[in-house]
Amino acid sequence: MKKAILLAINLMSISAVAQVTVNSTYIATLGDTVIMGEDTTHAAFLDLGSAVGNQVWDFTNLEEQKPDGIFLEDPSTAPLSSMYPDADFVGNDLEEDSIHLFFKQTSTYLDIVGIVEYDSIGNPVPGELDGKWRFMQFPATMGTTFESDLFTQVQSNYWGVDLDSIGPHPFVDSLRAKISFSFYNEIDAWGEVQLPQGSYNCIRQKTVAKIRSSGDCFFNGEWRPYTPLMLTFLDSVNYDTATDGSYKWWSDNASADLFVAQIDFDSLGNPDSNISYLLAVPTWPVGVNESAANSMEVFPNPTSDYLTVKTTLDGTWDATLYDVNAKTVLQQKEQTTSASIDLSELPAGTYLLQITDANGGIVKLEKVQITH
């Protein structure tokens, strides 16, 4: 009976696809864990569609090769956090010593205000961001556009040219170039994204890089615009908008705490070989959500030896533990409502616990801390 009800709901949702407006209501914030899957084998064969509405993106053949996602935690948990006092939370990547994204969140935007990466010897260093990266703007619907400057570089070079030898034009000592890098964003399509665990009504965000190069010259003791004669063979301003970029699909579904899927594309519009996609089960329009109906407790956390899992699930369930490098370190199959997981032989650190039901549906995702 449950399957029949879910099938009917699916049919109704497919026939009633409509453009959505994405607000900040369900967007993840401090304390949340955003868990996604990464597929590295099927993405290149996906049809990304056109820049129009009322589309269906069939991503149902995706398979999770490894978990992907971020922990949204207090900025102080990341290195160099004092450099970004305006951040509301930091996105700490599942992979240790990978990247830290510092976010500023309001009801009208989600900005990245700082990036920390690691150099070749493992030291944290600030990323190339001296402005802000508008990750998403709210409300967002078909036709919404926005842009943000990421960083600017200035470079000057000695020129030493007298444009007309002896004459009225000055001796130009140096040329200076100012290069600004920004992201241009457009909501260019809407429709239904079909994932292995369910479907989401979505808008699609297209992001491309935009580079602006402007120049001036140094003569008579100061920096000045190019002279009319120089403009005959030098451009004062150049723009270059990349033809490759990325797509993100966003939904107003309560389960979509960040984008539903993300994939890069090349200059011909062909998809990259990797795609990240949300693992959460969509919240059904009439509240039918079998996974949500099953309570699941995991304790104690942190733990030094054993982790107890209590559940109301019927049938078998699987517990999989991933380390910070997204590698499986433990798998355990259970059929009881209470089970213990022995973690005493694992190194201290942060792990991700994933619990799935007999059908492979994700029931619980939790960050686990092991202390010895």
Q: Which domain holds residue 87?
A: 2-278
The answer to whether 44 and 226 have CB atoms below 8 angstroms apart is: no
Cβ partners under 8 Å of residue 218, min gap 6:
156, 172, 173, 174, 175, 176, 224
* Residue 213 shares a structural domain with residue 320: no
In the block, residue with structure tokens 């449950």: 2
Within a domain: 53: yes
* Residue 215 shares a structural domain with residue 354: no
* Residue 270 shares a structural domain with residue 305: no
Task: Report how many domains make up the chain.
Answer: 2
* Residue 238 shares a structural domain with residue 144: yes
* Residue 312 shares a structural domain with residue 273: no
Query: How far is 358 from 360, CA to CA, in rounded Å?
Result: 6
The answer to whether 136 and 106 have CB atoms below 8 angstroms apart is: no
| Strand runs labelled E in 163-258 | 171-195, 198-219, 222-224, 237-251
Instruction: Locate 331 and state its tokens.
Output: 């798998």
Within a domain: 286: no
Within a domain: 287: no
Nearest Cα residue to 39 out of 14, 59, 56, 19:
59
The alpha carbon of residue 216 and the mean position of all alpha carbons in its chain are separated, in whole angstroms, by 37
The answer to whether 307 and 338 have CB atoms below 8 angstroms apart is: no
Query: How far is 34 from 257, CA to CA, in rounded Å?
Result: 7
Q: Which of 243, 278, 313 is the last residue of a domain?
A: 278
Cis status of the peptide bond prior to 168, with omega within 30 of 0: no
Q: What are phi and psi of 326, to 5 degrees?
A: 65, 25
Reported as a single tens digit per residue, the pLDDT across 299-342 is 998 899 999 999 887 788 999 888 766 678 999 999 989 999 99
Cβ partners under 8 Å of residue 160, min gap 6:
171, 172, 173
Per residue of the chain (372 residues), give pLDDT as tens. Answer: 333 333 333 333 333 456 889 999 888 888 888 888 899 998 889 999 999 988 899 999 999 888 788 889 999 999 999 999 999 999 988 766 578 999 999 999 999 999 999 988 889 999 888 878 999 999 999 999 999 877 666 666 666 666 555 555 567 777 877 777 888 999 999 999 999 888 899 999 999 988 777 777 887 778 878 777 777 766 666 656 667 889 999 999 888 889 999 999 988 888 999 999 998 766 644 333 444 445 688 999 889 999 999 988 778 899 988 876 667 899 999 998 999 999 999 998 888 888 888 877 667 777 788 998
The answer to whether 182 and 150 have CB atoms below 8 angstroms apart is: yes
Within a domain: 289: no
> Of how many residues is the chain composed?
372
* Residue 245 shares a structural domain with residue 220: yes
Query: How far is 183 from 194, CA to CA, in rounded Å?
Result: 27
* Residue 119 shares a structural domain with residue 74: yes
- Mean pLDDT (the chain) is 81
The answer to whether 315 and 357 have CB atoms below 8 angstroms apart is: yes
* Residue 15 shares a structural domain with residue 80: yes
Strands 171-195 and 55-58: parallel
* Residue 22 shares a structural domain with residue 130: yes
Identity of the residue numbered 45: F
Within a domain: 180: yes
* Residue 234 shares a structural domain with residue 323: no
Within a domain: 283: no
The CATH number of the domain where 331 resides is what?
Answer: 2.60.40.2550
Within a domain: 167: yes
Within a domain: 78: yes
Query: 0.75 exceeded by the pTM?
Result: no
The strand pairing partners of 263, in sequence order, are 247, 275
* Residue 73 shares a structural domain with residue 202: yes
Look at residue 292 and give its three-state secondary structure: helix
Instruction: Locate 125 and state its tokens.
Output: 């260093």
* Residue 133 shares a structural domain with residue 188: yes
